[in-house]
Structure 1
Amino acid sequence: MSELKNTVQLDLRKYGKPPEATAQFPFAQLEWIFDKRKDRMSNDSSKDNYQSAKTFFIQHIKATEGLRPYLLADKWDEFALLRFKETLQACINAKKICLSSYTLTGHFSAVRQVMKEAAAYGLLNTKVIQETGWGSTASETDAHACYSDKELSQILSAVAEELRFSYTVAGGYTKQSPDEGRDPRFEFKRGRKNGYGFGVAENMRWYFENVLDCEPILGFGAAKKEHGRFLHAAHVYHGGLHNLYRTWGVSAIADEYLVMPLAIDLLYLTGLNPSSILRLQIDCLQDEHPLTGMPYLLFEKERSNGEKELHLPLLEKREERGLKRKQTLQVKRAVTTILKLTSKIRQSLPESDPLRRLLFIQGSKGPNTYNQTVPLANKRTSAWCKRMVEKYDLRNDLGEPLNFNMVRFRSTKLTQMALEGRDFFEIQQVARHKSITQTVRYIAANRLDEPARKIVSEALVQIRANQAEVLSPLEPIAATPQPISLFKGLIADCKNVFDPPDRVKRAVDYVPGQACTRFNMCLFCRNVVVLKEHLPVLATYRAQIMATQANNVQNLPHAHLYNQTLSVLDNLLNPDVSQFTSDEIEWAFDMATTLDVVVDPLLYRGACQ
């Protein structure tokens, strides 16, 4: 189970049997089984998740089935989860349920785990619950959505400007020409117009180089008294001390203006969560992995289990991220620059202070922590992002002020990789998903696989056209010879078994002239004919694919093909978009419960391994 690390080991001797459901306590068995699962959770957040899911599920049963005694053995058969999903979606469509998609996903995941546990421990009349996920989850705001190309272009351009300043400061101060500026303390009464006094920028810089020895000062303590005229002039004539320093390429303090651009740079490069970026240690970049010999990044991650994030109270051990050469150089430059910018405040900390090991630290300018060294915190990162929106007038695609935050870089990175057609396993590594199934669901939920969507769309169009042609009373006019009658197949009929899909023809073992037996490719064939009579087998096929993806997708060859197949089947068996009626689809699901057929041996083997 996905929550294995978060679950207390079960003692079968203490599990027992559910209580009797009565007219007075109709949901006694439901409460009992949810509480059993909840009590096995090892942290409060997981317990709360199952408690809220129990309340939600019972309310849903009350609304859809009334207050009749609810018996687990009668109600939860092999297709119980599929029926729950359908009735739940119907309630949502009827506006009877108004919850965020992420809340619904969390509830649905908990219900699925409870059903599977009930089946596993012999409380039901089935040993298997057909798997299905809640499907697409979408944020009701754009707080977690990926940036569009236009938005990302604006952000990267603005951050590049800020990065230039960070790299300039790290590179060290460059003095002005010796013939520029003069001591502003002498003959200052002759005035700015004549080039004298602290009101002249070049004179301020002369003072900085020759009196302050190129060391930025802050306006408090002994410096305020000793260099008061310099500090006063910076405020009155030069837009403030920090703005003046910025024009010179120096900074009095390693604040968020220096370190945040580098944090954004690392976010964009690595696709890590913001929490992981802010927890990086000074030794995060390692030159050589002991096993692969490749450079890698050490980081800490707050874990989440299942389809809903359930953050554990303690961080788990560090994880490793392999880095490619170009990325290594970019990450190394960013890390080296951060260390250089923060070296002074880092060295001022006691050896035992944990902040010495933290990569992202800063000098604070807050009223209560002024000039103290503090970690780069979420509150400060949010404030910096808001200032960037104002400073550079960042806009979204609708022309509104951009919702600029650190979280969106992760989804942006994964989106870019998916749209580039990168391998699922490579995306999984960057995303740090626990399983490839989670990665597949992420891509499907965010509709990122454009080539796959095109294949699915073309298959659905072909299926609809062939069905209309076969059912038409008129004889079609064919440009090429056609068979006298349809060939009967396992999941569909075929107009010409000697003309398989191009993907089959490209296979090494394909023999021209032989009848095609690749039943797992039927739905993508130009000759496929899907009729009402095929729907029960297709419903069974769909259930088998979902079960295999959920249980053992890593052992399933051509996982991308089955993901595309599942998309086609979802459309064919969804009454909202299918050419088949809701009654026909409901009949198909009912008939599927009586079928005992292995549609694809690869699925059977993958599910059992």
Structure 2
Amino acid sequence: MQNPKVKTLENFVNEIDTNRNKAWGISVSHIPKKNGYSAAASCAELNRNLGLKIASSKSNAYSPYLEKLNNILKEEGVILKEQIASALEVRRTTKYWWDNLTTEEKLSVKTFGNSIRFKTYIKNWRGGKGYQIVTDLGNELNAELIELGGLDCNYRAVKDRDVLYDQEYRNKQQEAVQRWDELATKSLNSYKEFVGVESSDEPFVQLKQLAALVRNGAASASSKKKPQEAYSHLCRFLEQNDIDPKSSLQDILSEFLLVRFKQDYVIPKMHGGSIAPSNAPTIVSSVRQLLKRATKLKDINFHSFYDVEMKTRGRVTDTYKPYLKSERQAITEAIQASIDDIIVLFEPYQKSGEGEYPLDENGFIKPSFSKIENARYLFENNLNCTPTSFNDAQTPEEKGFLKIIGKLDIGLHNVYRSWGVPSIIDADVIAPFVFRLAQITGMNADPLFDLYVDDFVIAHETTQKPCLRYWKERSSGGMQLHLDLFESKLQWLSKKQSEEVKDVFENVIRVTESIRKDAPEHIKDKLFIYKSTGQTTHGEIRSFSDLKRQTTSIYSNFVVKHDLKSESGEPLVFTISRFRPTFVSELVEAGVSIREIQLMLGHSNIETTMNYLDKLDFNRIAREKLTEAISKIHNRIFVKADDEVSNKFLDNPDKVIFTTPLGGCSNIFSPPDFVKKMSGFKKGSPCSQYNKCLSCENVMITVDKLPMLFAMKRDYMLLMQRNRIMDTPHGYVIEENLCLLDEILNPKKSDFDAEVLFKAEKLAQFEETAVIDGVTA
């Protein structure tokens, strides 16, 4: 009788033979190569699907039916000669999947690049990667889908398109390069040499010509791209602001162009993601180069522009952000608490009179004498109330003292602090004083660390103003000597500041007195010194300037000790570098003028201050203050004229001197005849040329007025450089005043001594005039 399992296989093979399409549903697997075939029906799959126990390696009752099945697979093309089983199995699986799809399902399969996305449906798909028969089948199925309308019959492969595109692109690129080179053929020293805007269809053609000129001077290929990109971005910016593409270069350029380009174009694009933060500085820099080149053109009246910087990340990092108001308050309280605690420790030590001598004749601690009171007895009577540490104890009393403290498990520094004794003057003790000085002066870390004990001057010999004078290292490492007032770096201080700075100096000198005498000669007079607690430098007296950037632990210790948090509740990002922008922020918010901020920061040029404010995003506040100030100026201008002044003032019997920024007028009610003849002059009213009286015969110019005159001259010159005021009626007035100032301030023409004029010109950098505050600030 036939085995039932063999009968099952026989019936299965007969069914396949009757319906040959089912042959593609039979899995194949690898066998030893025989007659060119390396694949056969998978016995493992047959066993699993039919519940058989076929052993493919042995000849048995299943063998005739297996041989018949494999012949069917060969005849139907499921198994092919010289093809490995893995390729045949992927091909079989793909065809079986496709043949069992309806037309609607075939039209809805996923595609990519005008091809069926086989990987989505077929496990281990290897089309195009070594299995040529799989690739061929894929092409057949794609061709079928094209006929069904599921794929584009006119589709061109990317590689084929690239060939055409590359050729077209190269042609266009070549034309573009030729155009850029053509625009740069002229030297363009004068605006008159530029292409006429009406004769060209290119948008902003004169701007492009300017960019071509800058591009022509670039050395590398990458450098040549930057002016082109700058032109492209500027065009988008101008179009965004509805500027006519036919506009001339003269109409486009203005002193605020770079400012507006950054604020209204770069930053919004960066926030929107269309400009990468890493590319923003390069874009701004490239536009800056175009504007710099434009300032050299003749006949265009574009001599300067307001410069701005662009941070790499497009924003101010936490390390340089001003502290917020709540953070400032917490920091101030923490610094003050630390300073108060330290100052208490340096009050004269008051002996307690506690305890008794705890050591025996051999220097050992007597039984039951290891008590805190007895340690204090040794400190007061044998250690001369001077702290000692485990690294430098020598005498039996010092060693005994430390042994008692060690047994009590209290901590040596905690014991000293509880007694009101400063144990070691380390960096953490001095740090709060450094922080306080940074907080009230806005000085950076390096100049702070380099301060000397005599760098605070209560009243400078020339100006009688308090100041901090700090030193800078030369590149060779040597130290500069103090320079005179006009060449040294000065940090000018208000009265309130000077009082607090004086306290810091006096307290630090007092706190460091005990270690200063043992300090190395080169740092003995440094203000901020400390005793190191490092393993390799323990006990060394060092300067804060030696720390330089190794201050992270000092900052973190301070934050942890006082539990300082940001507004978001995270540990505060605390550094000295944040005090400077915080200091400036408070000045701006308080309405302090830009000139005063310039002096407080020690900037020699007001444009440096403006750029600093812009970099820290203070321009918004500054603009609000400026608007408010201009409004006040306008309100003061349009006032009702006073009633006619009594004739008794015309002769100025009391000899009243009316002071102006330029000099002193001896009779403001009796101006010269040329003023009286003016149509706007009213008899008995003050001089209509008040504040413009350099040429007046009544003016009295004294030495103390000379710095202001030099400042006036400086600001007139700045005004001429920064805008087009010389093209207005005001230009005549400025030219006239500069001529008059030259008569007074030029050593060859002046009645004043050359040395007096030299000193006055140096002092002028600390003077503020209405020319800057009222017009250009």
| TM-score, normalisation: structure 1 | 0.58
How many residues in Structure 1 have an aligned counterpart in Structure 2? 438
SS at match of 1:374: strand
Asked if structure 1 preserves the Cα contact closer than 8 Å seen for 2:588 and 2:622, the reply is no
- The aligned counterpart of 2:637 is 507
- The aligned counterpart of 1:498 is none
Unaligned runs of 5+ in 2: 1-177, 186-210, 236-246, 481-486, 643-712, 736-770
- The aligned counterpart of 2:104 is none
2:359 aligned residue (175, 185, 189): 185
Counterparts of 1:313-332 in structure 2 under 5 Å?
318-332=488-502
2:342 aligned residue (160, 163, 166): 166
CA–CA separation in structure 2 for the residues paired with 1:323 and 1:402: 28
- The aligned counterpart of 1:95 is 273
- The aligned counterpart of 1:12 is none
CA–CA separation in structure 1 for the residues paired with 2:593 and 2:639: 25
Asked if structure 1 preserves the Cα contact closer than 8 Å seen for 2:227 and 2:286, the reply is no
What is the deviation of 1:278? 0.6
Distance change in 2, residues 1:213/1:503 (3 Å): closer
What is the deviation of 1:449? 7.0
What is the deviation of 1:188? 6.4
Counterparts of 1:173-572 in structure 2 under 5 Å?
174-178=349-353, 180-185=354-359, 191=368, 196-198=369-371, 200=372, 202-223=373-394, 227-300=398-471, 318-351=488-521, 354-376=522-544, 377-440=547-610, 442-443=612-613, 446-447=617-618, 453=624, 504-507=634-637, 510-511=640-641, 554-555=715-716
Task: Please give the per-residue CA displacement for 1:375-401, whole angstroms capped at 9, x wherever unaligned.
Answer: 211345321110111122111111111
Task: Please give the per-residue CA displacement for 1:282-333, whole angstroms capped at 9, x wherever unaligned.
Answer: 2201233121123321113699xxxxxxx99999863123333333232122
Asked if structure 1 preserves the Cα contact closer than 8 Å seen for 2:216 and 2:224, the reply is no
Counterpart amino acid of residue 360 in structure 1: F
CA–CA separation in structure 2 for the residues paired with 1:448 and 1:204: 62
CA–CA separation in structure 1 for the residues paired with 2:554 and 2:397: 32
Distance change in 2, residues 1:28/1:602 (3 Å): closer
CA–CA separation in structure 2 for the residues paired with 1:282 and 1:56: 54
Asked if structure 2 preserves the Cα contact closer than 8 Å seen for 1:188 and 1:197, the reply is yes
What is the deviation of 1:110? 7.4
Distance change in 2, residues 1:226/1:358 (3 Å): same
Asked if structure 2 preserves the Cα contact closer than 8 Å seen for 1:436 and 1:554, the reply is no
Asked if structure 1 preserves the Cα contact closer than 8 Å seen for 2:417 and 2:423, the reply is no
CA–CA separation in structure 1 for the residues paired with 2:232 and 2:441: 46
Bigger shift: 253-262 or 182-191?
A: 182-191
What is the deviation of 1:131? 2.0
SS at match of 1:335: helix
**Percent of aligned positions with the same letter in both sequences?**
23
SS at match of 1:223: coil
Task: Please give the per-residue CA displacement for 1:396-433, whole angstroms capped at 9, x wherever unaligned.
Answer: 11111111111111111121222222232222211223
What is the deviation of 1:280? 0.7
Asked if structure 2 preserves the Cα contact closer than 8 Å seen for 1:287 and 1:294, the reply is yes
Asked if structure 2 preserves the Cα contact closer than 8 Å seen for 1:419 and 1:448, the reply is no
Distance change in 2, residues 1:383/1:211 (3 Å): same
| TM-score, normalisation: structure 2 | 0.47
Distance change in 2, residues 1:315/1:434 (3 Å): farther
CA–CA separation in structure 2 for the residues paired with 1:213 and 1:55: 76
Aligned-residue RMSD, C-alpha: 5.1
- The aligned counterpart of 2:86 is none
- The aligned counterpart of 2:293 is 118
CA–CA separation in structure 2 for the residues paired with 1:272 and 1:56: 40
Distance change in 2, residues 1:335/1:211 (3 Å): same
Q: Quick check: which has more Rg, 1 or 2?
A: 2
What is the deviation of 1:246? 2.3
Asked if structure 2 preserves the Cα contact closer than 8 Å seen for 1:245 and 1:252, the reply is yes
SS at match of 1:257: helix
Asked if structure 2 preserves the Cα contact closer than 8 Å seen for 1:421 and 1:449, the reply is no
Distance change in 2, residues 1:153/1:350 (3 Å): closer
Asked if structure 2 preserves the Cα contact closer than 8 Å seen for 1:443 and 1:449, the reply is no
SS at match of 1:227: helix
Distance change in 2, residues 1:502/1:232 (3 Å): closer
SS at match of 2:320: coil
- The aligned counterpart of 2:321 is 145
Task: Please give the per-residue CA displacement for 1:242-269, whole angstroms capped at 9, x wherever unaligned.
Answer: 2322222333432112211111121122
Unaligned runs of 5+ in 1: 1-18, 36-50, 67-73, 304-310, 460-500, 513-551, 567-592
Counterparts of 1:30-45 in structure 2 under 5 Å?
30=214, 33=217
| More RCO (CA 8 Å, sep 6+) | 1
What is the deviation of 1:213? 0.8
- The aligned counterpart of 1:154 is 330
CA–CA separation in structure 2 for the residues paired with 1:348 and 1:302: 24
- The aligned counterpart of 1:57 is 226
CA–CA separation in structure 2 for the residues paired with 1:502 and 1:320: 32
SS at match of 2:469: strand
Task: Please give the per-residue CA displacement for 1:509-555, whole angstroms capped at 9, x wherever unaligned.
Answer: 6459xxxxxxxxxxxxxxxxxxxxxxxxxxxxxxxxxxxxxxx9944
Counterpart amino acid of residue 131 in structure 1: F
What is the deviation of 1:80? 5.7
Asked if structure 1 preserves the Cα contact closer than 8 Å seen for 2:229 and 2:283, the reply is no
CA–CA separation in structure 1 for the residues paired with 2:632 and 2:384: 74
